[in-house]
Amino acid sequence: MKQKQFVVIGLGGFGSNVAIELINQGYEVLGIDLDEHIASEHSTLLTHVVSADATDEDVIRSLGITNFDCAILSIGEHIQAGIMAAIILKELGVKQIVAKAVSELHGRVLEKIGVDKIIYPEKEVAIRIAHQIVQPKTLDYISLSKNCNIAEFSVPSKICGKKVEELKLHKSGCDVVAIHTKNDAIVSPDQSFVLCEQDKLLLIGSPKQIERFEHELMK
């Protein structure tokens, strides 16, 4: 399987953390920032780093952006520049575009442009913290360490009706921590447990193992 490559445009707080986390997970990352000083600070942290204007189509094209699997736009504070960069990425045919938005209106504009996934960092962190305060056992994706994450998946129709043992988790290396049903949470479920479409599967494994599981069974 070809190693995924990411480009992160905007190496501020959010972009920098996303880029470094992707590096920690073993991916190749090209970082782009207009500020030469910020670009220089990340030169030893990422696979490649360049100081460039993301709103200059010729420059972005010259960097071979279309060869990357995903572009992450993290220049949300500069709304006009972010929108222009998103348009350029879309017109160049980038496979997947993820963008940071600072408001619902900003997000709607990005959505209309065709951005695949829009992230509201402050809003999403606030919601997650609120849920963890009210319901401490609620999980979605938690990084315990560089090689150990917990991920929660909704059971897709593809594996609905299958027993846990039929998932053949040994192929991916993941382990089932728990299964959240409509009315209960079953910790360390029996291998004969039958999955339903409304269930949520809680897995533990390395980022690569979880990715392998998602690729093989969750697509």
CATH homologous superfamily of domain 139-218?
A: Regulator of K+ conductance, C-terminal domain (3.30.70.1450)
* pLDDT at residue 138, rounded to an integer: 42
Query: Where does 5-124 sit in CATH, by number?
Result: 3.40.50.720
* pLDDT at residue 1, rounded to an integer: 57
**Pair 29, 22: CB distance under 8 Å:** yes
Average pLDDT of adjacent 10-residue blocks, the chain of 219 residues: 86 94 94 95 95 94 93 86 93 94 89 92 72 49 71 81 85 85 85 88 82 71
| CATH 3.30.70.1450 domain span(s) along the chain | 139-218
| CATH 3.40.50.720 domain span(s) along the chain | 5-124
* pLDDT at residue 136, rounded to an integer: 43
* pLDDT at residue 116, rounded to an integer: 95
Cα–Cα dist 94/70, whole Å:
7
* pLDDT at residue 205, rounded to an integer: 83
Of 19, 18, 25, residue with least CA distance to 208: 25
First to last CA, the chain: 15
Please give the angle made by the CA atoms of 47, 218 and 1, to the nearest 5 degrees: 40
